[in-house]
Amino acid sequence: MAEIEHGREGGPSEKADAEDDNVFGVLVDNLRIVVIALAIAFALRALLFEPFHIPSSSMAPTLLTGDYVFTAKYAYGYSRVSASPIPLPFIHGRFPAGAPRRGDVVVFKNRLDGGKDYIKRVVGLPGDRVQMIGGALHVNGEPAAREPLGVFAGVDEEGRPVEIHRFRETLPSGKSYVTQHYTYADGTTTGWDDTYEYEVPDGGYFVMGDNRDASVDSRWIGRVGYVPIEDVVGRAQFVLVSFKEDFRLFDPRTWLKLRGDRTFRVIACGV
């Protein structure tokens, strides 16, 4: 009677080859997942939202040092600085065309400071006349309404004691937000409460920090000046998370220093 030959189990070398093939296949699958995830993250960052860290108090009290802000890069269309994390010099203008409104908080590349990221509020559009008179913002000769919100004790960026005067400022368009000004013990200010009248050129925008006496902005023509539309990255949309100023990424003892009341705080746009 003929014997039925049963399939024989492979030898040690065949087992090793199969295991190597399985490990290689798992590595390839994992690598594919990582590449896809990185591509999606890159696309989201390049085309939709990009996070920015607030390093100073120039936009206080709207934005605080330690806030992590998400910026909508699509809000005004794409330009050479918003279409890619790396500026693309061959792109000119914006596509599709878009423009900030008075009251928008925008992130832009300051070409007068090595292309660093700045975040300020747009108060003047192309063709506008902007001036500070007695601490009050004037646009095209019309003062922005200011409602006093109180005086608080504090210190300036150099640690000197100051009185912090807060106001609810309302632009002629109706956009409202809170600004603050410093007064020192001898009654003096920083000197930026009164300026000459600026005329915003075509294609430019006049931006200011809400912390008016602690902001290097369009009032400093040689350091910021009028912001070209091509240099605007996008509109600040919301605060994702905020950490107190003594937070350190590599110090676990500071990881709980979270400002819970600022998480997912929406930054209202202009009108």
How distant, in Å, are the alpha carbons of 122, 138, 169, 177, 214 from that of 145?
16, 9, 6, 11, 21
The yes-or-no answer on residue 116 being catalytic is: no
Type of residue found at 50: E
From 120, 175, 215, 218, the catalytic residue: 120
Q: Is the dihedral of CA 114, 115, 117, 119 positive or negative?
A: positive
Quote the CA–CA distance of 120 and 45 in Å, as a whole number.
21
DSSP string covering 146-198, please? EEEEEEEEEE-TTS-EEEEEEEEEE-TTS-EEEEEEEE-TTS---S-SS---E
The DSSP 8-state label assigned to residue 56 in this structure reads S
Provide the CB-side half-sphere exposure for 215 (13 A, CA): 29
From 57, 58, 79, 82, the catalytic residue: 58
Burial class (CB in 10 A: 0-12, 13-18, 19+), 89: exposed
Q: Give 88's contacts (C-beta < 8 A, 6+ positions apart).
A: 80
Quote the CA–CA distance of 141 and 80 in Å, as a whole number.
34
The yes-or-no answer on residue 58 being catalytic is: yes
Catalytically annotated residues: 58, 120
